[in-house]
């Protein structure tokens, strides 16, 4: 009603002769169809153009980025820009790139093998796909030969930690060499090869022993004193707060708390991008 009042000439057109009126209605319908057609076509073309610029990819990327840290998002956006707007890099790939750069850590276990704790540790390492280094006391090998064999089969490094945990520099060189030889022979009898690495108890070594013993010495640079505290959380906190690329962590697989700590350390440091290697990989330069 308003329309007709406001534009009375429209009403007039309906008063035209029937033939003319029909032609006018057809023309009006065709005009409206043409407007719709070109409008839809324009929308489709603009959507295609936007997609070609990577707009849709960026839109898909935003929700994923919102869950990550600002730094990761910015970094991913930078990677996307380098790839011509294709953010298929996604936060996951960015995280992988960061993981690869964090560094390598060696978990080392002294004083075993232990009949209960060591197999439990080996289970946890296997579950996580982690290789470690074990420095064995000769007298602890007796009765645990299967465990030593398992260490070898599962790719861990096996080293010498003397026969009975003697401080090697406190005795004669000859007595020290006998201690080392005793354990080397025990390990070789099980695995078929003598170890190439020795960790002297208390880290006590000398120039004289270096000349006499054709083995590499493997010390450590991160000691949470797990034997002293025997508390999982204390050990985990100490190690995870200090670990860095090249850390050689000293633990003892004769304590249940140390086994628990080691597995938790692996889980935490793995999430922070570290990989675990046997100690020889960090000592060879």
Q: Is 110 one of the catalytic residues?
A: yes
Minimum CB separation of residue 183 from Zn ion in Å reads 12
User: Do the Cβ atoms of 162 and 111 come closer than 8 Å?
Assistant: no
Minimum distance from residue 205 beta carbon to Zn ion (Å): 13
The alpha carbon of residue 210 and the mean position of all alpha carbons in its chain are separated, in whole angstroms, by 37
Q: Which helix (H) or strand (E) holds 230?
A: none
CB nearest Zn ion: which residue?
A: 110
- Active-site residue identified among 114, 156, 252, 260: 252
Q: Distance between CA 125 and CA 232 in Å, rounded?
A: 17
If the CB atoms of residues 111 and 226 are measured against Zn ion, the closer one turns out to be 111
22 phi/psi in degrees, rounded to 5:
-60, -45
Q: Which is nearer to Zn ion, 75 or 224 (CB)?
A: 224
Residue 285 contacts residue 275 (beta carbons within 8 Å): no
HSE (side-chain half, CA atoms, 13 Å) at 38: 5
Pick between residue 124 and residue 159 the one whose CB is nearest to Zn ion: 159
138 or 201, CB closer to Zn ion? 201
- In the complex, the smallest distance separating the C-beta of residue 113 from Zn ion, rounded to whole angstroms, is 13
Among residues 89 and 235, whose Cβ is nearest to Zn ion?
A: 235
Residues that bind Zn ion (CB under 5 A): 110-111, 201
**Residue 111 designated active-site:** no
Distances in whole angstroms, Cα of residue 46 to Cα of each of 33, 40, 213: 20, 10, 77
User: Cβ of residue 100: shortest distance to Zn ion, in angstroms?
Assistant: 33
Phi, psi for 214 (deg, rounded to 5): -80, 55
DSSP code, position 231? -
Active-site entry in 110, 226, 253, 260: 110
CB 137 within 8 A of CB 174: no
Q: Is the distance from CB of 133 to CB of 271 less than 8 angstroms?
A: no
Q: Minimum CB separation from Zn ion for residue 161, in Å?
A: 6
- Which residues are the active-site residues? 110, 252
């Amino acid at each position: 009603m308003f329309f007709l009042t406001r534009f009375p000439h429209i009403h007039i057109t309906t008063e035209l002769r029937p033939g003319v009126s029909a032609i006018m209605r057809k023309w009006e319908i065709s005009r409206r169809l043409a407007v719709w057609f070109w409008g839809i076509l324009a929308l489709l073309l603009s959507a295609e153009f936007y997609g070609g610029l990577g707009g849709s990819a960026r839109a898909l990327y935003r929700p994923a980025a919102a869950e990550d840290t600002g730094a990761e998002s910015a970094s991913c956006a930078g990677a996307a820009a380098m790839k011509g707007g294709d953010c298929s890099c996604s936060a996951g790939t960015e995280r992988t790139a960061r993981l690869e750069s964090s560094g390598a850590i060696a978990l080392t276990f002294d004083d075993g093998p232990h009949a209960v704790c060591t197999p439990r540790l080996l289970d946890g390492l296997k579950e996580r796909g982690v290789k470690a280094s074990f420095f064995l006391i000769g007298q602890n090998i007796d009765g645990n030969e299967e465990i030593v064999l398992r260490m070898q089969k599962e790719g861990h490094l096996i080293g010498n930690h003397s026969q009975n945990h003697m401080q090697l520099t406190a005795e004669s060189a000859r007595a020290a060499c006998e201690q080392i030889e005793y354990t080397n022979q025990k390990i070789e009898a099980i695995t078929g090869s003598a170890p190439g690495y020795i960790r002297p108890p208390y880290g006590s070594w000398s120039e004289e022993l270096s000349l006499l013993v054709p083995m590499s010495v493997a010390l450590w640079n991160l000691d949470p004193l797990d034997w002293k505290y025997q508390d999982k959380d204390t050990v985990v906190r100490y190690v995870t707060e200090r670990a860095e690329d090249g850390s050689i962590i000293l633990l003892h697989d004769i304590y249940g708390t140390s086994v628990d700590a080691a597995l938790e350390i692996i889980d935490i440091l793995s999430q922070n991008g570290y990989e675990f290697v046997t100690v020889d990989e960090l000592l060879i330069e």
